[in-house]
Amino acid sequence: HSKMVQQPIYESDAKNILKNNLNISCINIPEHVIIENLADLELIKILNKWLEINKLVVKPDQCVKGRGLAGLVGLQFSWNNVCNWVMQHFGKPHNFGKISGVLNRFIVEPFVKHEKIEEHFLCILSTKDYDTILYSPKGGVDIGDIKSHSFCIKIKINEDLTEEYIADFFKINASDPISSI
């Protein structure tokens, strides 16, 4: 039995997929911009006026875990703070556990004031036969061992997924977080 290859996607791409495919009024997926070239900073600001109005969040968008614990999340920044922060980190090597690489892609979005209890974790894994949705009511930069407090819903490809199915799943499994993925 061989393992399926998993291909991570950028946080920005995941947000775009959700924004473009979910019609759920209670989920607000904020605007965001991507910085991949320092020469584009002025153009990004001109094309996205909200960057100068809102407090912002900036972080690498390179398919790595542990950004918050590594000090790689800037919170409540002005656009000028974002630019300075990105210039400090852009092109610099960084280690994420066993993975190392150069920081060269960043996501910037509005800072949304919220309580810790309002942070959640969502991951969607796709294989040939199933989509697996991994969900935890505990999210944020200090999420820790996701497997210890997550729920896993496995859905066959082309199976209808109803609100009742999801609600029943959480009622049945509310006290039984997954132990392995």
Domain final position from 113, 132, 163: 113
Closest of 73, 156, 157, 146 to residue 108, by C-alpha: 73
Domain final position from 86, 113, 140: 113
Q: 1 lies in a domain?
A: no
d(Cα 120, Cα 84) in Å, to the nearest integer?
29
In this structure, are 60 and 22 located in the same domain?
Answer: yes
Domain final position from 113, 140, 160: 113
Q: 33 lies in a domain?
A: yes
Q: 108 lies in a domain?
A: yes
In this structure, are 82 and 134 located in the same domain?
Answer: no
In this structure, are 82 and 21 located in the same domain?
Answer: yes
User: What's the whole-number average pLDDT of the chain?
Assistant: 80
Question: What's the total number of domains in the chain?
Answer: 2
Q: 142 lies in a domain?
A: yes
Q: At 24, is the secondary structure helix, strand, or coil?
A: coil
R_g (Cα) of the chain, nearest Å: 18
- CATH number of the domain within which 16 lies: 3.30.470.110
Q: Which domain holds residue 45?
A: 11-113
Q: 4 lies in a domain?
A: no
In this structure, are 85 and 158 located in the same domain?
Answer: no
110-127, pLDDT tens digit by residue?
Answer: 998 877 777 778 777 788
In this structure, are 38 and 108 located in the same domain?
Answer: yes
Q: 181 lies in a domain?
A: no
Ranking 13-17, 67-71, 76-80 by mean pLDDT, the lowest is 67-71
Which pLDDT belongs to residue 173? 55
d(Cα 43, Cα 139) in Å, to the nearest integer?
33
Global model pTM greater than 0.75: no
Which pLDDT belongs to residue 16? 75
In this structure, are 107 and 129 located in the same domain?
Answer: no
User: What is the sign, positive or negative, of the torsion defined by CA atoms of 160, 161, 165, 170?
Assistant: positive
